[in-house]
């Protein structure tokens, strides 16, 4: 029987005294790979982690307007959909669910404030670039 990791989530530093830079963001996001070990191959980590990071960033960006956005567009933009399709996100969601990891992975991302107020677009872009290099 597979032992599940602790459901305890980590969070990015939010104190004004602790700078949130792209490396710390990328390291926290990369740490989600620890949940995937054993059920996913290392080459598959990016297909799970990058779309989840993008999804969380999008959710944080729309913030308080989320309900209006969902009502008005009821779908991702074509560019966002292209990214999710490229990573075969729906397929990997099913794999996460089958491995009893979907709740843990989603919970980890949901715990982070990736809003533009917490993390600038510039730092977010650098973090994504660093993650892409780690997965390459």
Domain coordinates in residue numbering, the chain: 22-135
- Please give the average per-residue pLDDT across 18-29, as a whole number: 78
CA dist., res. 128 & res. 23, Å (int): 10
Q: Are 87 and 94 in contact (CB under 8 A)?
A: no
Residue 3 CA to chain centroid, in angstroms? 23
Residue with tokens 């107020």: 117
Tens of pLDDT, residue by residue over 31-87, are 999 999 999 998 899 889 999 999 999 889 888 787 777 777 766 778 888 888 999
Pure H helices in the chain? 22-30, 33-36, 45-62, 66-73, 78-86, 89-98, 102-110, 121-135
Q: How confident is the model at residue 99 (pLDDT cuts 50, 70, 90)?
A: very high
Q: How confident is the model at residue 91 (pLDDT cuts 50, 70, 90)?
A: very high
Q: Give the pTM.
A: 0.78
Reference 26, options 44, 45, 6; nearest CA is 45
Is the model's pLDDT at 7 over the cut of 90?
Answer: no
């Amino acid at each position: 029987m597979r032992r599940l990791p602790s459901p305890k989530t980590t969070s990015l530093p939010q104190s004004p005294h602790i700078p949130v830079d792209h490396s710390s963001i990328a390291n926290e996001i990369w740490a989600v790979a620890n949940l995937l070990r054993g059920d996913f191959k290392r080459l598959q980590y990016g297909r799970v982690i990058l779309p989840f990071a993008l999804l969380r960033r999008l959710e944080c960006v729309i913030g308080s307007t989320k309900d209006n956005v969902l009502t008005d567009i009821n779908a991702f933009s074509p560019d966002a959909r292209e990214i999710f399709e490229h990573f075969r996100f729906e397929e990997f969601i099913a794999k996460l669910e089958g491995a009893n990891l979907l709740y843990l992975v989603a919970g980890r991302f949901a715990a982070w404030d990736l809003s533009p107020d917490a993390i600038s677009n510039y730092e977010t872009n650098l973090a994504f670039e660093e993650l892409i290099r780690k997965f390459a």
